[in-house]
Amino acid sequence: MEQKPSLDVVLLAISSLYNNPDTSEKERASHWLEDLQKSVHAWTIADELLHLKRDLESCYFAAQTMRTKIQQCFYELPVDAHVSLRDSLLDHISQINEHTDTVIVTQLCVALADLVLQMPNWTQPLYDLINKFSQTNVWPLLEILTVLPEELEGRSVRLGENRRTEILDNLKLCSPTVNEFLKHCCNSFGDDLNGNIQGNIKIIRCFTSWVTVNAISLDSLVDNVIITRVFEVLNQKFDGQKLQPVTGSLHDSATDCVCTILRCLEDNNNHQVLEMLLFNKVLTLEVPYHLSVANEDQEKSMNYCRIFTELGESFLNRIISNSNRDQQHFTIKVLDLILMCVGHHDYEVAEITFNLWFLLSEELYQRHDYNCTDAFKPYVERLITALCRHSQMEPDHEGLLESGDDFKEFRMKVFELIKDVVFIVGGSNCFRQMFLNLQVPGVTWDASEASLFVMQAVAKSILTDENDIVPKVVEAILNLPENTHVAVKYTSILLLGELCEWIERHPATLDLVLNFLVCCLSQPRIGGASATALQNICAACNDHMPRHIPVLLQLLGQIDTLAIANSAIIGLLKGVTAIVSCMPHNDIPATLRELCLLQTNPLCELMKQNAPTGRGMKTDPVMWLDRLSSIFRNLYVPLAEGETNPCKSTALEVWPVLSHVMEKYQGDVRIMERCCRSIRFMLRCVSQQLSELLQPLISQLVQIYNTHQHSCFLYVGSILVDEYAVDPNCIAGLLEMLKALINPTFNLLQQENGLRNHPDTVDDFFRLCARLLQRAPMEFLQCTALPLILQCSLLACSLDHKEANMSVMKFFNDLISSGHTGKQHPDYDKRKAMIQSILNEYGQQLITNLIHACVFYLHSYMLSEMADVFVELLQLDHEVTSKWLTTALDSLPKQGHGGIVTATPDQLQAIYISITRSDTSKSVTYALKDLTRLYR
């Protein structure tokens, strides 16, 4: 947007965005306003709109624009304009009154907070703001004081560690003044908590914000008036049974405050007086919790549960370290409070506590101290009993729980939690207790199903030689009455599948179980569970299963007539394939051929009929390709040296079908990806013994790739290199394949934003190059396309896509590594000279690109792969790499916009020393993270 638009035009666009019933006009207005916000004219437009105060929509747009510009485009303003921007914002904020919309206030206050963070020549911003607004504009002042620490911690603005430290030190210096201001506000609002709800919320939120960033020290909290106010809110006043409730939002703010302080204590446990104060105060919340339950105020019940759980997590290490079967630490009573909440009638309250139990189980598992673990058995027993009750469906529920149902999601979390904690009480003990629940006279179907559900979770923790309870359970399941609720049948069948290891040790039960499951396959709604159970049993009992293969093949031939999800069928195929892998080699070809024909025949029929592809239906080629992939993926046949792979003949029969699929559906990326996946697993299965397919497969890949640049073709290319580059006769053909794939790949990546828009192509292309480097380094290094590949890889260093960047770094890693490894190989000297020549040309650019990518483009979790490259370079030539690193670090800006110090020479020197003295990727990663913090 070159010219500044008039205010009338802007107001018209805003009005159209919010009020025009025509969606196309709304969209047009939205795009135009987005372009305006990106332009430099947005600064003055926003300021003028705020002064104009035409309507809510235009004021909100202006405030939001001002915040966005300060956050993301502050560099657009010359330094001498900072003061006038500040004064303008202060002027807008000074005009806020009780009629100003909250969202506008928030946007303006965040904008001012972000300005404070980026304006180092404003030396005393907090004192200035308190002096200016503490008597006249308390509401916006509280909001500014709240959002400033939040913006500092949230890192929405790239400040750098030095500026953040400077701001935090400033906050700590001002904290006594802020504390006094908050105390004054508390006194002004009086003791009537409901008298000024919003005021109390703002005070508590502001206080919490400062505690979160440790601007207010924990030592000063013991007699802090805000802490007293917070617990007044949480200890709801009551007279007899008459409750004087505190409003929900105020209760939420108080809860957030206590939880924040407890988290700070967890990170810094050297404040015993404060810990005991909070511990005792939290214990007093038991009565208010019960009142919230009695009054069916679930939001408050959840808040108390959050506090109890946070307290438990803060004291957890202390509780565990000082508890055993003979004595327990006094703070363990917090587990009783937490279990009290787990006993709440609503499962959402219980779910809040799950993380604590995961932490408890992990710590006890790591300690491996039975004496300590025994202290927690009673608590975990109570937990599992409560979870079993929470897992009960509604008594009038018909059918099964639907996918996406919140309660079903909760039960899956329960399932994982029970699996995690069951070792504390013992899987067999838990299984026995649930079995006893089933024996209770008059037990309802929903209670039975919940007990079976828990048994399913612990089934694999049972000793396989157990002969008391499990046989009775298996017998009961095999003899379920016809009128049993479908949910009970469903869970019972899944339980059988989880007992697969026990069944493997008790083969006498196998035929009965298989017959039962096969019969259940055809029954509505439980067929999928039967397929899953069969998969588990096939995988665990494969030594006993080959004699059942004819029946299983017959079953698979009819399975599409049953109402079973494709995912369950794929799982069953996986189980059957595990059996095939254990068969005598002479028996494999015929069985495997029949198994594959069940997938390829429908595929051929689809292509012959030229039927339209229906996603998720039998006319969808993807369905059959996924099944074929499952077969080859799970086949593992150990071979003696020189032995022909028994899967080869089947693979040669399958290939023409896959080739036809590629030709017919070449424009459909979804089908192509699945087809390439099938080819990948087929190649992996038979490995080098499919060399006769190499030439036709490469020819077809290259031909289609020239028209349709599906990245999955590059991936198949890397699989071919992996499998066949060990054969010197195949290398020339594989290099020709690479050359043929380069032009269409680079044409795609050289488009505008090509690297960013096609990360999968970057990922698969450099995986292909890395594989060639590993398998045929000399041939790859002599490839005429290498300079183009290197230039592309240097550009891709800053690509912030994890997998793509990882492949690029792996390529560099292998490239550099080939210059100093394999010293015994005859071509070592020549190879080393070639790598040295490459680095002489590109080394400095590589190091500079890596440093700039770390600082300006990549997420911190992506730095470890870059660290590997630095380690390889230092091992290859420490002296030259150190010089390159010095130049790269010197190229970084030492100051940001407005004079903010980003990195001092001493800090950069420390980074340099850390990297150059490191010999592990881990230590280089730490150094790179230290570097990035200086600029973010």
pLDDT at 236: 75
Cβ neighbours around 111 below 10 Å, total: 27
Average pLDDT over residues 227-249: 74
pTM above 0.85, yes or no: yes
**Nearest residue to 849 (alpha-carbon basis) of 796, 805, 894:** 796
DSSP 122-150: ---HHHHHHHHHTTT-HHHHHHHHHHHHH
Q: What is the pLDDT of residues 874-894, one digit of tens each?
A: 999 999 999 999 999 999 999
Average pLDDT over residues 250-260: 96
Q: What is the pLDDT of residues 633-660, one digit of tens each?
A: 999 999 988 899 999 999 999 999 999 9
Q: How confident is the model at residue 244 (pLDDT cuts 50, 70, 90)?
A: low
Cβ neighbours around 837 below 10 Å, total: 12
Under 8 Å between Cβ of 141 and 129: yes
Helix/strand/coil percent split, the chain, to 5: 75, 0, 25
Residue 242 belongs to what H/E stretch? strand 242-243
> CA-CA distance, 178 to 885, in Å (whole number)?
45
Q: What is the pLDDT of residues 508-553, one digit of tens each?
A: 999 999 999 999 998 889 999 999 999 999 999 888 888 899 999 9
Under 8 Å between Cβ of 302 and 352: yes
Query: Is 737 a residue whose pLDDT tops 60?
Result: yes
Chosen domain end from 551, 583, 615:
583
Domain count, the chain: 3
Q: Sort 723 into a burial class: Cβ within 10 Å, 0-12 / 13-18 / 19+.
A: buried
Flag whether 716 is in a domain. Answer: no
> CA-CA distance, 9 to 375, in Å (whole number)?
72
Q: How confident is the model at residue 237 (pLDDT cuts 50, 70, 90)?
A: low
Query: Is 238 a residue whose pLDDT tops 60?
Result: no
Query: Residues of 380-413 as b/e, b for ≥16 C-beta within 10 angstroms?
Result: bebbbbbbbbbbbbeeeeeebbeeeeeeeebbee
Cα Rg, the chain, nearest whole Å: 34
> CA-CA distance, 676 to 713, in Å (whole number)?
7
Q: What is the pLDDT of residues 819-845, one digit of tens each?
A: 988 888 889 899 999 999 999 999 999
Query: Is 453 a residue whose pLDDT tops 90?
Result: yes
Flag whether 755 is in a domain. Answer: no
DSSP 195-217: TTHHHHHHHHHHHHHHHHTT-S-
Under DSSP, the state recorded for 895 is: B
pLDDT at 241: 46
Query: Is 27 a residue whose pLDDT tops 90?
Result: yes
Flag whether 369 is in a domain. Answer: no
* Contacts of range 563-568, beta carbons closer than 8 Å, 24 or more positions apart: 563/524, 563/525, 563/527, 564/521, 564/527, 564/528, 564/531, 565/528, 566/616, 566/623, 566/626, 566/627, 568/527, 568/528, 568/531, 568/532, 568/535
Domain range holding 503? 392-583
> CA-CA distance, 674 to 665, in Å (whole number)?
11
Retrieve residue 433's tokens.
């207790």
Under 8 Å between Cβ of 477 and 530: no
Q: What are the helix and strand counts (H, E) for the chain?
A: 47, 2
Q: Sort 53 into a burial class: Cβ within 10 Å, 0-12 / 13-18 / 19+.
A: middle
Flag whether 556 is in a domain. Answer: yes
Flag whether 467 is in a domain. Answer: yes
pLDDT at 219: 85
Flag whether 769 is in a domain. Answer: no
Under DSSP, the state recorded for 666 is: T
**Token match 């024996």: residue?**
439
Average pLDDT over residues 765-789: 94
Under DSSP, the state recorded for 368 is: T
Chosen domain end from 76, 97, 122:
122
DSSP-assigned beta bridge partners for residue 239: 242
Retrieve residue 510's tokens.
């196998």
The sign one gets for the Cα dihedral 491, 496, 501, 502 is positive
Q: Which CATH number goes with the domain that contains 570?
A: 1.25.10.10
Average pLDDT over residues 50-71: 93
φ/ψ of 895, rounded to 5, equals -135, 145
Q: Kindly report the average pLDDT of the chain as a whole number.
A: 93
Q: What is the pLDDT of residues 794-825, one digit of tens each?
A: 999 999 999 999 999 999 999 999 998 888 88
Q: What is the pLDDT of residues 307-346, one digit of tens each?
A: 999 999 999 999 999 998 888 888 999 999 999 999 999 9
C-alpha separations of 316 from 259, 266, 549, 780 in Å: 15, 9, 52, 56
Q: How confident is the model at residue 194 (pLDDT cuts 50, 70, 90)?
A: low
Retrieve residue 745's tokens.
């790949």
Average pLDDT over residues 355-384: 96
pLDDT at 907: 96
Q: How confident is the model at residue 398 (pLDDT cuts 50, 70, 90)?
A: very high
Flag whether 844 is in a domain. Answer: yes
Over pLDDT 70: what percentage of the chain? 98
Cβ neighbours around 177 below 10 Å, total: 14
CA 26 to chain centre: 34
DSSP-assigned beta bridge partners for residue 901: 895
φ/ψ of 235, rounded to 5, equals -85, 80
Chosen domain end from 553, 583, 613:
583
Write the single-letter amino acid at 649. S
Residue 74 belongs to what H/E stretch? none
Cβ neighbours around 260 below 10 Å, total: 17
Under 8 Å between Cβ of 675 and 658: yes
Average pLDDT over residues 146-166: 93
Write the single-letter amino acid at 769. C
C-alpha separations of 590 from 68, 546, 652, 738 in Å: 67, 13, 13, 37
Q: What is the pLDDT of residues 665-677, one digit of tens each?
A: 999 999 999 999 9
pLDDT at 239: 43
Flag whether 471 is in a domain. Answer: yes
pLDDT at 411: 97
**Nearest residue to 37 (alpha-carbon basis) of 19, 13, 54:** 13
Query: Is 240 a residue whose pLDDT tops 50?
Result: no
